[in-house]
Structure 1
Amino acid sequence: MKHPSTRRPLLAGAVLAATLALLAGPGGGATAGNKDTWVGSWSASPTGAGAGLSGTGFADQTIRMIVHTSVGGSAARIRLSNTFGTGAVTIGHATLARPDAATPALTDVLPASVAELTFNGAPGITIPKGGQVVSDPLPVAVPELSDLVVSIYLPVATGPATWHWTARQAAYYGAGDTTAEPTGATLTGTRNSWFFLSGVDVLSRRSPGSVVVLGDSITDGSQSTINGNARWTDRLAARLLAGNSPHSEVGVLNQGLAGNTVNRDGTEIGYAELGVNGLARLQRDVLSQTGAQTLVLMLGINDIQIHGDAPDKIIGGLRQLIAQTRTAGLDVVVSTVTPFEGFSSWTPAKEETRLAVNEWLRTHRAEFSGLVDFDELLRDPAAPSKLRAEWDSGDHIHPNDAGYQAMADFVPLWLIS
């Protein structure tokens, strides 16, 4: 593994383009028998629009969004989603670049790194209602564990946006098409969300595939440092890539959604941005991810703390998620439900439900590939219904940055690589 200082910058090149043309088949994938394959490096789960900007959408505006890769590669492509739109969405122009770390503005990118994205050879594309698109392969070297900047121009009114509400990463927007401009001076609007962008794939010679984490706000990184890439999945990717084996080059795809559940939709309590239930998003958010080989399942706490569902209902939904994923050929690693006494919705009855779900998980390991007992890790030994104080973000349900690091360090790598 190369030291981070020796990794190649994001550069387009004629030689690399020629190599990619030989590797990529009609669908953008590698030809049979070649070791170069497409793998997911970054992802975000899309949901329906909420109030405010997501509800009104965009028109004649550019959105600039920053994502953090896991595995690197020799080419890239992005995925855009209009899954929850009410009409077609037109992408007029899109670019991929690297941020300019020498400037204080997170909106600025390195001029030499700006690369034009195309769709079926054209600079833009119209995504039909409910549809998703993938860009053409772009011959650029994408470093592992690095920030990429995706800019998209929306020339006509989009209507309600398909988005990811709690990005823990600033995004910027402004008038006109500024996708190719290095400076983001005109991008004066800011949000803590990703809009329309749902994935970044890379072409990798070393990666065996990706691990997909289907979770709630704890996976989404709620209460972690904004722009800090301190989610436990980010830290897990860094830990994997510190290894020297080809199997350490595993992509880590975060499909966490704040407020998400096994069995309930966010619209049941008036918040579409919490997403549809885990069973409803399994195919889109897990099984269709590029190179998916393992699911880490971390859902259930919101079925308990928001809805007060019974243990049997939660366990039944988890069993279905496990069974369907295994039928699709993926390994399944399951997490226990972590403690939350002190959070506003906690009750003794809900604690009993949490304990019952965890007991089932600990005693039925034959139904899945492995168990990560995050409850055992995070609970206070003196008060097991509470988070350990040193890892509590202060709301008593979400870990802080140190707690998320502890979670990443706790995962047995042999289970997922």
Structure 2
Amino acid sequence: MYFEFIRNVFLKKLVLTLLTLLCLISFGFISYHLLRSNLYVLNNERSLQTLVKRKVYVGNDQSTGKQFSQNFKQKNLAKTNAHARKVFAYLDKNYHYSLRWSFDSNLNNGDSVSIDTVNSNFFKFYLLHIAAGRSFNSADYKSSSYYIPVLVGANVVKSQPLGSKFTAVNSSSGKKEYYQVVGVLQQNANVPSVYLLDNQNYLNNTIIRPLRRADKMNLTAAQLLAAAQDLIIFDSSRTELNKLTSKFNQGDFFKIRFISVEKNISDFYDSYRGTAIMFAIFSLAIMVIAVLIIVWNTWNCLSEEQSEIALRISLGMRQKDVLSAVIIYQLLIDILAIVPVLLYAGSYSKMLADSSVGSSSQIVLNGLLPRAETASLLISFVLMLLITVLAIALVAAHFNGKTLALRMGDE
């Protein structure tokens, strides 16, 4: 009964129905992206609260291209490395810090991985959950054993299981290293960026090794420069930070600044807020247009078919059946509108699970969508459903309140 009513009353104005559908698809895409981005931002900000509470400062590499090309010329490299070791020795002796440098490499089987070197304080600020095995202990950082203990990501463990030993060239030093897997990271473990809160740096294709004494002795400028970005300094005054900044920037080798995490987050929101508000207004405007079309189309369709509706009511159709029919009609439109968004989200997530996206972007996909994408899609659909169904239900209720012009005796 309902579908026959929908076909006879609403589908006669197919152009308006398609226009409504197009508006709702547009709203679905924009609201999905906006919600997804906001969920990542909120999740990353929550992950950074440990840094915020400790009032830490984070390194920001502002070295120019000219400085880089000059300092890393072959004839200047020895001098640049000597400066880097001098700066690091000063840092290691006088400051509390959390360090991580990351370089892309390849395993012997051809898999692309990132080899990350971290010091013991790294895990104080980034709580990476271990799915199997163990995390590093204090002895791992002091050890000079032949095999370096490592943690591996969810994709690396497929070829290098817990307890296995393997070799790889660490591109940060150019040396072949021998590793033993002591722990496996949880799927989709990630390190949030203090600069881009809407980005995720996944560790599924990552090998994490400890910063050992030998690494400190042979540190290179490339390693220090990679570590300077996001280098965390804690329990230090602004005066002490200024001294460290001067050490880094001495001799025009580097240009490093230290900025508080609160300032980084504030700067991000200053930039992000404007874009988010613009998209929110745009999606709201599209929804307003869609609602206006829905209201106008529904009222006209019901009014034009008033005689038929009156006839149906006289034959036993109840007025609340009219309300049910228009709600079912709008529900079908909303479902059709969210399908393209669902297909896009699914294909995008599948792309992120492919190795071609890069080691720090690849996710492990256990279902159709990751949790953030699923939540964004559901919220977008529920918003669409609530607004449109409420609008069309109000129109139908108002129509039912009118005295029908035609009665059976008038025929």
Q: Which has the higher contact order (CA 8 A, sep 6+)?
A: 2
Larger helix proportion, structure 1 or 2? 2
Structure of larger gyration radius: 2
**Do they fold alike, i.e. is TM over 0.5?**
no
TM-score, scaled relative to structure 1: 0.21
TM-score, scaled relative to structure 2: 0.21
